[in-house]
Structure 1
Amino acid sequence: MGKVFQVLLLSFVFSSCEKDDICDRNTPTTPKVVIEFYDNASPTTLKNITKLKVDAAGFTTQLNFDAVSKITLPLKTFADVSALNLTLNGTDTDNTNDNLDEITFNYTRRTEYVSRACGYKTLFTLDATNPVVLTNDASNWIQNITVTQPNIENENETHVKIYF
């Protein structure tokens, strides 16, 4: 009798589940901004970034990248501005060679329904007049920034190019 009850209970539980009850990991959710790095001396040549630390004021976590020419970074879904600190040599043990550049993304947000299980995602459109701002200091390692795709709706294309 106990086994029959368990089988009936499991049947009921699984029969009440629908496809939308579990968000498939392949379902596109809020996209990150895709950034590619290029050689400033040869602007069509991709260049690997090494020992890059990315963080933001008020956040305790950081992202680390090494030996890559493409990265993805999250933007704030609760504000129209995201200021990120990109520190060259920020992941090595020598703090004297760190070179921090701050870039600010200005954008508008649009919320889009995905499904009952996945909820909503936020899509971004970079500002037409002032999309990405580099805070200038005496030793910027970033030389130039260009926007190649202002609509951040997926991670299948490059949105921003950074030259260094």
Structure 2
Amino acid sequence: MKKYILIPFLIALSIFSCEKDDICAATTATTPRLLVSFNDNILRDNQKNVTGFLAVGFDLDTALENYSVITTADAILPLRTDATETKYRFFLDYEIDDNGTPDDETDDFQTGNEDIITINYTIKEVFVSNACGYKVQYENVSITIEPDGDNWLLFQEALNENLIIADETTTHFNLYH
């Protein structure tokens, strides 16, 4: 008789001791990207399009997704989570000149004005949930425009002091050209 009471009790115990599945919702905030706005150097409150814009990671040969020879007034840039610095090569008026020989790619060359920006930061891991794990928050973010004698990017401005990038809903930096 005790055996028959024990079995339903064990089944009930196993059912009520189960945890619901943890699933990280698609709407959960993840590691944010840096949002920069390109602004006019003279009318500083006005955004100004960059024509023929190309963004390339400094050590990469391919363009950043969505930033391959476009016209844009802003850019959303992923930052490295395994380092405290990320570099980009930004091009203004980028083109491939085929040197008058469209069928011969060996004599092609790129045109446009290249500027290199360096983004420095510290990394802070922030716990999101058991299902989502951790995300990275970037703190003390700064941007340096490397001088090359022909910069099209003239200067940058952080929109907050001790800049922290915890989300990508607002502009973090203005880049003036």
Q: Which range, TM-score by smaller chain?
A: 0.7 to 0.9
Which residue number in structure 2 is paired with residue 59 of structure 1? 60
1:7 equivalent in structure 2: none
Structure 1: segments with no counterpart, 5+ residues: 1-14
Match for residue 96 of structure 2 among 93, 97, 101 = 93
- 1:115 to 2:116 alignment: no
Offset from partner CA, 1:98-151 (integer Å, 9 cap, x none): 111011111111001112332211000135xxx211110121110111111311
1:72 to 2:76 alignment? yes
Q: Which has the higher strand share?
A: 2
Counting only pairs closer than 5 Å after superposition, residues 11-160 of structure 1 correspond to structure 2 as 18=21, 20-21=22-23, 23-63=24-64, 64=67, 66-90=70-94, 92-94=95-97, 95-127=109-141, 131-149=142-160, 150-160=163-173
Displacement of 1:153? 0.4
- Give the 3 Å change call, closer, same or farther, for CA 148–115 of structure 1 in structure 2: same
- Give the 4+ runs in structure 1 shifted more than 6 A: none
**Structure-2-length-normalised TM-score:** 0.74
Looking at structure 1, the residues matched to 164 and 20 of structure 2 have their Cα atoms a distance apart, in angstroms, of 35
Q: CA deviation at 1:83?
A: 1.2
- Classify the secondary structure of the residue corresponding to 2:118: strand
What's the secondary structure of 1:42's corresponding residue?
coil
SS in 2 for 1:77: coil
Q: Which runs of 5+ in 2 are unaligned?
A: 1-17, 98-108
Quote how far apart the aligned CAs of 1:44 are.
Answer: 1.1
- Give the AA of the match of 1:154: D
Q: How far has the Cα of 1:60 moved from its partner?
A: 4.5
When the two structures are aligned, how many residues end up with a matched partner? 145
Looking at structure 2, the residues matched to 119 and 50 of structure 1 have their Cα atoms a distance apart, in angstroms, of 39
Indicate the percent of aligned positions where both proteins have the same amino acid. Answer: 30
Whole-Å separation in 2 of the counterparts to 1:44 and 1:58:
33
